[in-house]
Structure 1
Amino acid sequence: MSDARPTREPGRRRLVLWRHGQTAWNVENRFQGKTDIPLDETGIQQARRAARLLAGLHPTELLASPLQRASVTAASLAEVTGLPVRYDRDLIERDGGEWEGLTGREIRERYPAEHAAWQPPGGETSAQVAKRVGAALERALDDLPATGTLVVASHGAALRLGMSHLLGLPEEVWERLGGLSNCCWSVLTEMRDGGWRLAEHNAGTLPEPVLGDDRTDNGA
């Protein structure tokens, strides 16, 4: 049996990539990775506010990482729209290996070479994350009707790298795409040739510091 993906009917699909709300580890500048950290009270309020705004895009499908900071964020939109939430484990955050639970300062002091290369010992490479998350997005888009709007609730590094994959950007320029603030989103629209255009990036608030696990969040 062939593993080839189905040919996607050309259309006007829209993809909204939505980062989860704030957590205590975000505030403490701790690397979360695949550790399942909940939203704090601010994060819950952020998710509720963002859900009211995103409902105005009239989403037709809702997909999320199963980690609770993303799944609870997605649930806030499900409550407003009535859409069911589907989950895909390939949308979880980058595996941070030995960095998970450490602050940015601890990572710089204990792992200077790895920090300079932004490669957590025992964790995933940027290319591995881009391929994993990009494939999850492609699968979901293959099932999306030609005029559908898919909202994906996930994580900062996962979304930036998956977005880079979807846009066909070469790895050497991935860092030029800035990170997503808590509960902000990016919007990609389908082009006539089946490719994707970045229509909005890090939308949802006035610009503020990005607190998260991504290289672009840490001044690296």
Structure 2
Amino acid sequence: MSYRPTLYVSLALVAALSFAAAYYLDVSELVRTVAALPFVGALFAALFQVLRDHSSFERDRIKQEREHAFLVASTSHMSSVAFDKHVEFCEAYIKALQALLGKLFAEGPTEKAWEYLKPLYDVRRTYRLWVSSSMAQQLDEFEKRVGEIAAALSQWKSASDYKLGQIHHLDKAHKLFAEVMDMEKADRNGPDADSKKAQGYTLVFEHLQSILGIETLTNLRDKVLRDALERE
């Protein structure tokens, strides 16, 4: 605990002098009372300082424990392996995603979406041990939307009622495609549809980067580097 010896010695000296003056001097009760006030004040000041120093000590202790826990977690063999595997997974998944989005960008809504999803599923299976449940759930949601495009088009082709079946499923497929590419309904067939698709392509990547924690890891790495430089 980082106490301040000089401060406590000063408070003790003030308290001792005040007590001695109040107890030994042959003066009136009023003067004794006034002389004793610094003694009482010194006691309160000492108590306040003890509490303040203790609070500061606890903050420093908690901070050191957290830094130690972070250091152990970040430098342990298991964390290094997990981090490396996470990076490998991100690289493989993004590569497969680029191929999928490129095909969707070129073809639009297509029944082949199921086929295009297969490389993503293969990557997920290869690295399933290193993918957290929360990340898996978010990736499932994205992949589900892509798969639903193929399902809607398949239903569109097999629907017997043109008005109630085919149009409904075809519209659903285009709606899902627009959601995947982050396009509004008015943008689907507009003059700047290709531009909107390109913007959606970028937004999908940013969304997937967020899910994969790439920005978080980058910020964490930058923080570690800054802290290391500040200690030098």
Q: TM-score, normalised by structure 2?
A: 0.27
> More helix by proportion, 1 or 2?
2
Q: From the CA coordinates, give the structure whose radius of gyration is larger.
A: 2
Q: TM-score, normalised by structure 1?
A: 0.28
> More strand by proportion, 1 or 2?
1
